[in-house]
Chains A and B, each alone.
Chain A
Amino acid sequence: SAVISQKPSRDICQRGTSLTIQCQVDSQVTMMFWYRQQPGQSLTLIATANQGSEATYESGFVIDKFPISRPNLTFSTLTVSNMSPEDSSIYLCSAQGWASGDSSYEQYFGPGTRLTVT
Chain B
Amino acid sequence: QKEVEQNSGPLSVPEGAIASLNCTYSDRGSQSFFWYRQYSGKSPELIMFIYSNGDKEDGRFTAQLNKASQYVSLLIRDSQPSDSATYLCAVMDFNKFYFGSGTKLNVKP
CB of A96 within 8 Å of the partner chain: yes
Taking CB atoms and an 8 Å cut-off, the chain A residues in 90-118 that contact chain B are 92, 94, 96, 102, 104-112
> Is A88 in the interface zone, CB < 8 Å from B?
no
The answer to whether A106 and B49 have CB atoms under 8 Å apart is: yes
Bin the interface of chain B by size.
20 to 34
Q: Report whether A45 and B43 are in contact in the complex, using a CB–CB cutoff of 8 Å.
A: no
Interface of chain A residues 31 through 63 with chain B (CB within 8 A):
31, 33, 41-45, 48, 58-59
With contact pairs A42-B102, A59-B1, A112-B43 given, residues A107 and B97 touching in the complex (Cβ less than 8 Å): yes
B40 to A: closest C-beta gap in Å = 10
CB-based contact B101/A42 at 8 Å: yes
* Distance of A107 Cα from B44 Cα, bound (Å): 10
Judge whether A43 and B99 touch: CB under 8 Å: yes
Residues of B within 8 A of A41 (CB): 101
Interface: B30 (CB within 8 A)? no
Whether A45 and B96, one on each chain, are in contact in the complex, defined by CB atoms closer than 8 angstroms, is yes
* Residue in contact with A105 in the complex, picked from B1, B43, B88, B92, CB distance below 8 Å: B92
| Given A41-B101, A42-B102, A109-B49 contact (CB < 8 Å) | no
B17 contacts partner chain A, Cβ-Cβ < 8 Å:
no
Q: 0/1 per residue, B43-67, Cβ < 8 Å to A? A: 1111001010000000000000000
B44 touches which one: A59, A105, A109 (CB < 8 A)? A109
Most chain A CB atoms below 10 A, which of B32, B92, B97:
B97
Complex CA distance for A21 and B58, rounded to whole angstroms:
35
Residues of A within 8 A of B (CB): 1, 30-31, 33, 41-45, 48, 58-59, 92, 94, 96, 102, 104-112
